[in-house]
Amino acid sequence: MNKKGMFGETFVEIASLFAIILVLITFWYILAYAPNLKAKQEISQIIGAEEKLTLINLMRSNINFDIDNDGILENINLADMLVYSYKNDNYKAFNGVIKEKLSVLFKDRNCKWSLTVFDGRKIINSIGSIGEFSSVNNEGTARNKRIQSASVLLPVDNKKMLTIKYGDNLIESENGSC
Amino acid sequence: MALAKIKGRNGSFIFGPLLLIIVIAMLTIAGFKLITLEKSVQKKQIGEMQIELLNTYNDGEKALFFIEQSLKYSGINALQEFYSKGGYFLNDCGTINNYNLWMKGSQKCFLDKKMALEQFSEFLTSNLNEYAANYNLPIQNKYVVREGKNTLIASGNEIEFYKEQFKYYVMPAFNVPYNAEVSNIADWSNKIKDNIDKCKNNIVCWKGIDSNIRVVESNKVFYFDIDYKSVGFFEKKPLVLKFALDFNEYNPLFSVLLP
C-alpha cells in the first residue's frame, strides 16, 4: 500500500470513530430527556388530599354540659365531652350533639359523613351515614372512595389517647349538594 | 500477498465487530428504557406543594389542640402535686416523711409568689410532657406560667413541624381559668413565716392560726395539712397543702424555744 492509501484509510477510521462518539452522545441525550419529549401531557389537580379542619373545629366547639356531676353546667368543648363519654362508656349524649352540630354545618342537607372513635385499633363509637370506615386515614383509599378525611388525637389521661376519624363525601362537596 | 493485505487492514477487522457490539448494546438499553417508560401520556399533578403546605399547617393545629386538651387535664394533676409537695419541685431544705420542709433549724425555705410560679411551672412541664410523650410527633416542651386576670397563662418554646420542603413553627401559649391557687401557697408561706417566732414548737399556737390547719408533731417536726378547695375537671378532688417545719436544729441565739 502506498503512503497516500494509508493516509486515506487512517482518515476514514478516525472519521468513523467520531461518528460513533456522535451517535453515542445523541443516544445518551435522547435517553436522558425522552420523558419530556412526549407529545401528550396530562395535567391533573390534586383535590381532597389535604386534611379538612372540620373535625378539629367540631371538637373545639363549645357546649354547656355538667361534666363533674355537681348539678352546674360547665362550658366545655366536644373533645371534653367525648372523653367524659369514654370514661362513662356512654356515647348517647355525645352522638346527639355531633348530629346536631353537623346538621347545622350541612344546613340540613342530606350529606353523607362519618365519625369514628378508636381506642387503639378498637372502634368504640361510630356514627354517620357513610358508615364505619376504618381505613379512612389511608390517603390512597380515602381518595379512591372520594372521601375527604381527617383525624385527630385526643388525650384521655397521661397514658391513654383516643383517635377520632372523620370523613365526608367529596363528590357531594364538589357538585355543591353539600 | 493476500495475507499482507489482511494484516494491513487490522483496524477495519476490529472496527466491524466493535460497531456491532455497540449497536446491540444501544438497542438493548433503548428497548429496556422504552418498556419501563410511562405509557403514552405524561401525567403532571399540580397542587402537591400547596397540599403539603396545608397539611404541615394542619399538623401544627392538631398538635396545639392536643396540648391544649392535655393542659386542661394535666394542669389539675400538676396543681394537686404542687400542693401535696408543699409547692416545691426541688427543695433545698429537704424532705421528711414525704413532707417538704419549709424550715430546717435556721435554714428557711419559704416561698414567695415568684418562686411559687417557677416551681409550679416545673410541675406543669413534667405533667404535660407525660401526655405529650404519647403523641405521634415530638411536642415535649418546657413551659413557664404567669398570672393573668383570672387566668393562668402557660407558654412554651416554639415547636417545629416539617414535611419535606416546609417547616412550620408554633408557639404554644394557653390560658386556663385560675383562682389564685398558685399564689395561695405563697400567701400561706408568708403566714407561716410570720408566725414562726410567735408559735415556735407550740402546737396549740399553730392550730389557732387558721381553722383549716391540721398539724401533728413528732420529734420536734411539725407536719402541716391545710385543706383548700376541691378542684378537678371530670371529678373534683380536694387540694391539701402539705409541708413540715423542723425545729430540731433551731438556733436558740435567734429565738428561744418554749418547753
The predicted pLDDT at position A134 comes to: 42
Q: Please tell me which residue, A177 or B255, carries the higher pLDDT value.
A: A177
The predicted pLDDT at position A136 comes to: 45
Structure ipTM: 0.74
The predicted pLDDT at position B1 comes to: 44
The predicted pLDDT at position B3 comes to: 44
Give the domain ranges of chain B.
48-246
What Rg, from alpha-carbon coordinates, does chain B have?
37
Average pLDDT over residues B72-84: 94
According to the per-residue pLDDT averaged within each range, which of A19-28, A103-112, B28-37, B211-220 is highest?
B211-220
Q: Which residues of B touch A34 (CB under 8 A)?
A: 33, 37
> To 5 degrees, how large is the angle CA B75–CA B230–CA B81?
40
A24 and A64, same domain (yes or no): no
Q: Which residues of A touch B234 (CB under 8 A)?
A: 67-68, 83-84, 87
For residue A156, what is the domain's CATH number? 3.30.1140
3-state secondary structure (DSSP) of residue A69: coil
A74 and A144, same domain (yes or no): yes
Read off the pLDDT band of B179 (50, 70, 90): confident
The predicted pLDDT at position B189 comes to: 96
**CA distance to partner chain B, nearest, from residue A29 (Å):** 12
- From the list B104, B36, B63, the residue with the least C-alpha distance to B246 is B104
Pick from A45-49, A102-106, B90-94, B161-165: least confident: A45-49
Distance set, CA B48 to CA A48, A93, A115, A169, B45 (Å)? 11, 40, 27, 21, 7
The predicted pLDDT at position A47 comes to: 61
C-alpha–C-alpha distance, residues A153 and A142, integer Å = 19
Residue A68 has its nearest CB partner, among B33, B134, B236, at B236
**CA distance to partner chain A, nearest, from residue B28 (Å):** 12
Q: Which residues of B touch A70 (CB under 8 A)?
A: 236
Condensed to tens digits (0 to 9), the pLDDT of residues B104-155 reads 988 999 999 999 999 999 999 999 999 999 998 999 999 999 998 889 999 9
A88 and A145, same domain (yes or no): yes
C-alpha–C-alpha distance, residues B9 and B2, integer Å = 11
**CA distance to partner chain A, nearest, from residue B124 (Å):** 13
Is the Cβ pair A42, B41 closer than 8 Å? Answer: yes
Mapping DSSP onto H, E and C, the string for chain B reads CHHHHHHHCHHHHHHHHHHHHHHHHHHHHHHHHHHHCCCCEEEEEECHHHHHHHHHHHHHHHHHHHHHHHHHHHHHHHHHHHHHCCCCCCCCCCEECCEEEEEECCEECCCCHHHHHHHHHHHHHHHHHHHHCCCCCCCCCCEEEEECCCEEEEEECCEEEEECCEEEEECCEEEEECCCHHHHHHHHHHHHHHHHHHHCCCHHHHHHHCCCEEEEEECCEEEEEEEEEEECCCCCEEEEEEEEEECCCCCCCCCCCCC
Read off the pLDDT band of B250 (50, 70, 90): low
Q: Which residues of A touch B123 (CB under 8 A)?
A: none
Q: Which residues constitute the domain of residue A29?
A: 3-37
Residue B227 · residue B211 · CB < 8 Å: no
The predicted pLDDT at position A27 comes to: 79
Residue A17 lies in a domain: yes
Average pLDDT over residues B166-176: 90
Q: Which of A12, A33, A51, A119 to mutate to test the interface with B (most CBs of B within 10 A)?
A: A51
The predicted pLDDT at position A142 comes to: 46
Q: Please tell me which residue, B251 or B196, carries the higher pLDDT value.
A: B196
A28 and A58, same domain (yes or no): no
A58 and A123, same domain (yes or no): yes
The predicted pLDDT at position A144 comes to: 47
Q: How many domains does chain A have?
A: 2
Residue A45 lies in a domain: no
The predicted pLDDT at position B197 comes to: 86
C-alpha–C-alpha distance, residues B244 and B215, integer Å = 9
Predicted confidence (pLDDT) at residue B217 exceeds the cutoff of 90: yes
pLDDT by residue, tens only, chain A of 178 residues: 566 677 787 888 788 888 888 888 887 877 776 655 555 666 666 665 656 667 898 999 999 998 877 788 889 999 999 999 999 999 999 999 998 888 887 776 677 888 999 999 999 999 987 654 444 444 444 444 566 788 999 999 988 999 999 888 766 655 666 6
